[in-house]
Amino acid sequence: MCMAAINLKELKKEKYWPIFIQKVKGNVPFSTIDNKVITIDSNDTRWSGVDTPDEMSAIFKSGNSTILPTVKPKGTITLNKLSKENIKEGGTGGGADAKTTAVQERGSAYILQRVLKNNKRYNSANDIRKDTQAYRALLTIWRKEGIDFEEGWLEDYYKQQKTMLVEYSSPRFTQFIRDGGFMDWITKLVRTKYQISKKDNWNPADIWLIKDQNKTIKMIQDLVDGGSSQTLEELNAILRQLFHDDIVVGVSLKKISGKEAYYERVNLSKADFESYKQMYYEISSIKCDLSIGKDKKGRTSFGTQDSRIFVDSETTTYNFQIKANDSAGFSNLKWEPTAKGQAAARLGKAPVDMVQKLLIDYRVRYDNRNGQYPKSLTDLTKVQDEYARIIKTLRQKGVETEVDEDAAINNIIVVLGNPETAHVANSKLMQLKFLHMLVGMQPVERNKFMTDMTFLAQKKGERFGPFGKLY
């Protein structure tokens, strides 16, 4: 059965373009409308520097060819031969919903078990397809959630297992856990004993590779049963030793963004922690688009709903996206970076409670409660002049706002005045206050602050648990 094709008009929408370009740049396979699998050539010059919707639209503007060069198989394909499933939320290359993420991770756990425990060997993604037992198991995993298996994930699974086989050439793992078992136990432990409501804010492991699960759980439980004197740092120390001994290895799974998967051990030694402390990144640019445009529903809104802070390290640029937790209603802000060249997988969100502690450490103030910011024109009237001054200061400090403070205030009034978009304006006002706080810091402190934010998002530091990042 043929699937619906990608529609050029929809592709240009903010909802879809990031998914498409992330897959192209990450060499992620696409499915075609006739159920074939191809990989678009990411080295084609047209993709160079494409990071925004406008740049995306320019590629396919009127008169520009939609014939795309492919590397697997070698040749070309037209845009309208690609399945629309490729750019749906939850599709192979985009921000997946909970069910899709779950089946992707269960598939990873199964293939890693097949290789590291059952000694199965694959020399290509197609070998997994030929392995009848494995392929049927993957189909079953996906279909249990009512989702059709996406063939493109075979390439990811192949890359993951290839890298992990090198990292763990003589594995002793007996269980590969994504649901239940150790995952449920450790989640409950950190919630009840250490008051960490979201396990991923402490350790982002999606799956656990474990030797003798029941015995290991009992051992950890006995060690941490010393009452309130047993700190989170002590639990982290226990898990670091078990990680070193290949008894408990938590793995954070990220979308494979290149031609091969990479594996990084995080929070494993004092040397790691010392190296994190020595890091110093620099802010290269800040963007907060206050121009007017149309959102995907045709409503008048800002050019983008978010703000961006670009932070340079010696090896890459971190693109911090600051936006509302809920794009459809009033909510607080979240901070989430991606690394240049790894756009298909975000690095993780900076835990909000730890951001608040960081603000205290740097002796600066910022209130991340949306109720403390204007939600109506009446509210805005009281602070309109203050925001005009804030925007003027931001522009003087080099923040790109697209329009001057007078136009920006008028645009805020337009967006805030519509009940359907008032939450977007509320979020922008929150972002402006955060950016104003940031640029008000001394340059060195400002850079140190964003360096620390980068490590918070990646869960790097003594306060976080040890894990391996497979990306």
pLDDT at 45: 64
- 124 to each of 112, 127, 134, 275, how far by Cα in Å? 14, 5, 14, 37
- Flag whether pLDDT at 84 surpasses 90: no
**Residues 366 and 323 both lie in one domain:** yes
**Residues 331 and 398 both lie in one domain:** yes
- Flag whether pLDDT at 63 surpasses 50: no
Structure tokens at 85: 């499933």
Q: Which of 95-104, 357-366, 414-423, 439-448 has the lowest mean pLDDT?
A: 95-104
Q: What is the pLDDT of residues 368-427, one digit of tens each?
A: 999 999 999 999 999 999 999 999 999 999 999 999 999 999 999 999 999 999 999 999
Picking from 89, 72, 88, the residue whose alpha carbon sits closest to that of residue 37 is 72
Residue 191 belongs to a domain:
no
Give 127 or 79, the one with higher predicted confidence: 127
- Flag whether pLDDT at 124 surpasses 70: yes
**Residues 103 and 78 both lie in one domain:** no
> Which of 149, 167, 185 lies at the terminal end of a domain, its last residue?
167
**Residues 154 and 53 both lie in one domain:** no
Q: What is the pLDDT of residues 13-48, one digit of tens each?
A: 655 666 777 677 666 778 787 767 788 887 776 665
**Residues 338 and 391 both lie in one domain:** yes
HEC readout, the chain = CCCCECCHHHHCCCCCHHHHHHHHHCCCCEEECCCCEEEECCCCHHHCCCCCHHHHHHHCCCCCCCEEEEEECEEEEEHHHEEHHHHCCCCCCCCCCHHHHHHHHHHHHHHHHHHHCCCCCCCCHHHHHHCHHHHHHHHHHHHCCCCCCCCCHHHHHHHHHHHHHHHCCCCCCCEEECCCHHHHHHHHHHHHHHCCCCHHHCCCCCEEEECCHHHHHHHHHHHHCCHHHCCHHHHHHHHHHHHHCCCEEEEEECCCCCCCCCEEEECCCHHHHHHHHHCCCEEEEEEECCCEEECCCCCEEECCCCEEEEEECCCCEEEEEEEECCCCCCCCEEEEEEECCCCCCCCCCCCHHHHHHHHHHCCCCCCCCHHHCCCCHHHHHHHHHHHHHHHHHHHHCCCECCCCHHHHHHHHHHHHHCCCCHHHHHHHHHHHHHHHHHHCCCHHHHHHHHHHHHHHHCCCCCCCCCEEEEC
pLDDT at 255: 81
- Flag whether pLDDT at 343 surpasses 60: no
Give 58 or 403, the one with higher predicted confidence: 403
- Flag whether pLDDT at 126 surpasses 70: yes
Count CB atoms within 10 A of the CB of residue 197: 9
Residue 250 belongs to a domain:
no
Residue 203 belongs to a domain:
no
pLDDT at 289: 96
**Residues 159 and 293 both lie in one domain:** no
- Flag whether pLDDT at 96 surpasses 60: no
The band of 67, judged by pLDDT with boundaries at 50, 70 and 90, is confident
Number of domains making up the chain: 3
Structure tokens at 86: 């490729």
Structure tokens at 226: 């010393």
Residue 276 belongs to a domain:
no
CA angle 60, 66, 69 (to 5 degrees): 125
Residue 155 belongs to a domain:
yes
> Which of 167, 195, 211 lies at the terminal end of a domain, its last residue?
167
Name the CA dihedral angle for 417, 421, 422, 426, rounded to a multiple of 10 degrees: -130
Q: What is the pLDDT of residues 241-259, one digit of tens each?
A: 999 999 999 999 988 878 8
**Residues 306 and 337 both lie in one domain:** yes
Residue 189 belongs to a domain:
no
Residue 462 belongs to a domain:
no
**Residues 314 and 418 both lie in one domain:** yes
**Residues 313 and 358 both lie in one domain:** yes
> Which of 87, 122, 147 lies at the terminal end of a domain, its last residue?
87
Residue 61 belongs to a domain:
yes
- Flag whether pLDDT at 351 surpasses 60: yes
Per cent of the chain over pLDDT 70 is: 86
**Residues 127 and 82 both lie in one domain:** no
300 is in which domain, residue-wise? 282-457
Which residues 6+ apart lie within 8 Å of 298 measured at CB? Answer: none
